Structure 1
Amino acid sequence: MSSRLEVHPVNPQPRALHQAARCIADGGLIVAPTDAGYSFMWGIEALDAEHRVLRLRALDTRHPFTVLCSTISQIGSLSKLDDRAFRIIKSLTPGPITFILPAGADLPRRLKQTKRRAIGCRIPDNAVTRVLLDTVGSPLLTTSLVLPDEPLDNHEAEAVAEGSLRHVDLMLDAGDCQPGPTSVLDLTGDEPMITRQGFVELELD
């Protein structure tokens, strides 16, 4: 049976975050708030959880999921992060921005299996997600809460619970959050390129 844990949006209760972290460690799939809507989250090596997301969202196995990180150092462990990219990311995080970077040589085994040449990473500006990442102690895979047959307002907690709770193992309910989507900034080329403007418009100097 799925669990719905209510947490404070600014000072989330440690007990609930530890329960969510245990669920992830056991290979579970959760829904949690971010600074760009509620999202699916699961451990990088949790293949069963990933397959559940692929079925729920009607995606193929080549879909490039985003990696949620708590620090730029974590992003650097997953990607080839040069000085320019580091400065840009530092100036824009935390926030609702996904950075596309060349994949690093030391990717976790599961990500190496996808043969990624690029990887999307972000550091969210949401207290619940940030504490969750710190509690888990490692990056998480994530994707937007978009169900093709069940359109829902993925930033409204009650709508998210009604539409997704039966599909996941646990929901961290912190009330309504910012709607999303994230902006996407491609840092793989010679110049940074905004490939998607999110709900907070991104401007580069």
Structure 2
Amino acid sequence: MPAIESAWTLLVFWAAAGYLLGSVPFGLVITRVFGLGDLRAIGSGNIGATNVLRTGSKSAAAATLILDSGKGAAAVLLARGLAGEDAAQIAGLCAFLGHCFPVWLRFQGGKGVATFLGTLLALAWPVGLAACATWLATAAIARISSLSALVAAVLSPLWAALLGRGETVALAAALAVVVLWRHRENIARMRAGTEPRIGRRRGG
């Protein structure tokens, strides 16, 4: 973590602003705008881009991916520009938590992968790029979206350390723990050999 230099009231403000921005359920909004129905009744019921793809609309899934990653990045960049690096990390963390636990959906949100990547890209773009490359490489080999997310999350603190971004290691580790927790059902299915591969329209 960077040195805490901002006033606690300012940090509380950016924590709240980051959470509210992150809690916007773009997957639900996009599928309704596209006339695809209630996303929570489709596939795994998750509000992220992977489940949006199960509706058969690649454009809706792409829009969800961009917006979910963008809200994490926006929280970081706004806080950094108007307050400082300490506020940026807190805003990014809270945007991620807002996506995973949105108050508007009774704290039943997404698994946070896109917001996790967007947050990292804005905080330390080399680390974010390394995490994205890890996701893509794992997806190309294993064809399992959840496994790609888990590998990218677990390796992100290592990438931060190796790339000389020590101030990002702790946050990357905290985000990775939440990603692992949100994917606990996927982990159980992978152990049972029942986790669907990329391209299938049903599953978690």
TM-score relative to the length of structure 2: 0.30
Tell me which protein shows more helix as a share of its residues: 2
- Structure number with higher relative contact order (C-alpha < 8 Å, ≥ 6 residues apart): 1
TM-score relative to the length of structure 1: 0.30
